[in-house]
Amino acid sequence: EAAVTQSPRSKVAVTGGKVTLSCHQTNNHDYMYWYRQDTGHGLRLIHYSYVADSTEKGDIPDGYKASRPSQENFSLILELASLSQTAVYFCASSEGGARANERLFFGHGTKLSVL
Amino acid sequence: GQQVQQSPASLVLQEGENAELQCNFSTSLNSMQWFYQRPGGSLVSLFYNPSGTKHSGRLTSTTVIKERRSSLHISSSQTTDSGTYLCALESYGSSGNKLIFGIGTLLSVKP
C-alpha cells in the first residue's frame, strides 16, 4: 500500500510566524499535492508538483509557498502565518496527474491552528 | 457557484440500513472519484468511476454522464462505515488536471 507521511500531525503557530509542513512519500510517485480542508469547504488545492525542483500553483496559492527538493519530499511553507490559514492540510501523491485511473494517496493530515 | 455539490450533507442510519449518497456537478465530466474520510481525518480512495456502475463489496458507484451526477450506494451499513464521503470531479486545466472536491456527506451509522 502506498505511504504518504505528513509531519507534524498538529501545530499551533503564532500570527506572523513561519510554518513549514512536511510530506514524504515512499510510492515513487511523480505527482504530489497540498490541499487544505475547512469546515464548509471541500478540499482545495494549494500547490502541486510533478517533478523534483518544480512546483505549480493550485487554486488557492496566495500566502503559501511550496518546495519539492526531491521526488519523495514536498513541503508547504507559510512565511507569515495568518489566522485565516487555520485549517487541516493534506498532502497526497499520485503516479500520474489527476487523470483517469490515477488514484490519489493521502497522508493523515496536519491540523494547523494559527493564534 | 460550486462545481461539485453533494447531498445529503449528513445522514444518520441504523446499522443494516442502506444509504444513497449523491454527487452533482455543473461542468462537463472527465472523471469522478469517490473518497472516504475516516473520523480521524485520513482519506482513502474508494472508486474511480467516469461512467457506468462499479462495485466493491457493499459499495456501488454509478455515474451518469448525461445527467451530470454520480451516486454512491452503501448496502447493509455497518458502524465502521461512519465517516465522511467525498466525491471529486476531474477538471482539465492549462497546467494539468486537478480534482475538484465536494464538501462531503457525513454518515453516522448507529448500532
The 10s digit of each residue's pLDDT in B28-83 is 767 788 999 988 788 998 988 878 999 999 999 999 988 889 999 999 999 999 99
Considering only CB atoms, which chain A residues are within 8 Å of B99? Answer: 43, 45, 98, 104
* Local structure of residue B76 (DSSP, 8 states): S
Flag whether residue A54 sits within 8 Å of chain B, measured between CB atoms: no
Separation of alpha carbons B98 and B91, rounded Å: 5
**Cell reading at B61:** 458507484
CB contact under 8 A, B101 and A43: yes
CA dihedral A14, A16, A40, B3 (to 10 degrees): -150
Q: What is the pLDDT along chain A (115 residues), one digit of tens a residue?
A: 559 999 999 999 999 999 999 999 999 999 999 999 998 788 999 999 989 999 999 889 999 999 999 999 999 999 999 999 999 999 999 887 655 456 788 999 999 999 9
User: pLDDT-based confidence at B27, cuts 50/70/90?
Assistant: confident
